[in-house]
Amino acid sequence: MHRFTWDMHYDPLPGGGGGGGRGGGGGGGAVPHRTYPGVNAPWVPPGAYSVRLTVNGKSQTQPIAVKMDPRVKITPEVQQIFTLTMQMESGAKNAAGAYKDARELVAKLKAKPQSAGNDALIKQVEDLAPAEAPTGGGGGGRGGRGGGGGGGGFGAPTEPPAPANLATVGSQMVGAAMGMQGSEMPPTAAQIQACSQQQTAYAGVMAKWAALKAKVNGGAAPAGRGGNRQ
């Protein structure tokens, strides 16, 4: 009898590492060296979902329900785990989409005839969406209950957070959510504050992106991705 594992994490951010894709996974330990890989993304909240198994071009879909441990009472404080996680995940996805749009905009601007104004726009967009994200301050690991995100071991020096821009704010939001994924205890004050700080950083970055798009479009209202869809 074959066993399949469906990963019930959110999709990792594009280019953000983390193992495995979506759908059926490894054997859950049934086959040596084929255990399911870890994913650097939050768990989905309780709710109704569906899984699809495709074999030889034929697909079968099955509804499933993700439920909280029945021993855990879902209080308003515990519900904050799901609320904050969904807010961080939504913002991270929006930022990833905006980053992709910004890099496409850079390519279009570079294809235009050179001018001082065009060069200035390119610099502004690249400052907000650099081609390579800084390595510091990315999404943390599972994290403990006392802090806002994952990090090094005891005594390990903490890296300063990377500057908030379209290349970094998504991973920083996921990092803030990851610290709440290890248990069903209500979020700590530090974790709530970390999420609040990332919401503020996200709002600021997306406002800059909206302003830049309006500037490129000659003052027209921004279109497409990049709005604050919470």
pLDDT of 54-73, one tens digit each?
A: 888 999 898 988 888 788 78
Asked whether residue 35 falls in the same domain as residue 135, the answer is: no
What integer is the mean pLDDT of 200-226? Answer: 79
Identify whether 8 is part of a domain. Answer: yes
* Concatenated DSSP letters of 195-206: HHHHHHHHHHHH
Asked whether residue 108 falls in the same domain as residue 191, the answer is: yes
Identify whether 225 is part of a domain. Answer: no
Residues β-bridged to residue 24: 6
The token duo for 177 is: 């959510």
Q: Collect all residues with Cβ–Cβ distance below 8 Å to 34 and sequence separation of at least 6.
A: 26, 27
Q: How many domains does the chain have?
A: 2
Identify whether 114 is part of a domain. Answer: yes
Identify whether 135 is part of a domain. Answer: yes
Least confident of 54-58, 84-88, 141-145, 222-226: 141-145
Final residue of a domain: which of 49, 67, 85?
A: 67
What integer is the mean pLDDT of 121-127? Answer: 94
Asked whether residue 123 falls in the same domain as residue 48, the answer is: no
pLDDT by residue (tens digit) across 83-92?
A: 999 999 999 9
Asked whether residue 36 falls in the same domain as residue 80, the answer is: no
Asked whether residue 112 falls in the same domain as residue 1, the answer is: no
Final residue of a domain: which of 67, 87, 113?
A: 67
Is residue 24 over pLDDT 60? no
pLDDT by residue (tens digit) across 97-111?
A: 999 999 999 999 999
Q: Do residues 99 and 166 lie in contact, with contact meaning Cβ atoms separated by under 8 Å?
A: yes
Asked whether residue 81 falls in the same domain as residue 183, the answer is: yes
Asked whether residue 55 falls in the same domain as residue 128, the answer is: no
pLDDT by residue (tens digit) across 154-206?
A: 444 556 666 799 999 999 999 999 888 888 889 999 999 999 999 999 999 99
Is residue 19 over pLDDT 50? no
Final residue of a domain: which of 38, 67, 96?
A: 67
**Whole-Å CA distances, 67 to 12, 29, 73, 103:** 22, 23, 12, 39
Query: Which pLDDT band holds residue 10 (cuts at 50, 70, 90)?
Result: confident
Burial 84-118 (b: 16+ CB within 10 A, else e): bbbbbbbbbbbbbbbbebbbebbeebeeeeeeeee
Asked whether residue 42 falls in the same domain as residue 99, the answer is: no
Asked whether residue 152 falls in the same domain as residue 212, the answer is: yes
Range of the domain at 54: 1-67
Least confident of 134-138, 196-200, 216-220: 134-138
Identify whether 221 is part of a domain. Answer: no
Helix (H, G, I), strand (E, B) or coil at 100: helix
Asked whether residue 86 falls in the same domain as residue 195, the answer is: yes
Residue 22 has what pLDDT? Answer: 36
pTM (predicted TM-score): 0.67
The CA distance from 88 to 82, in Å, is 10
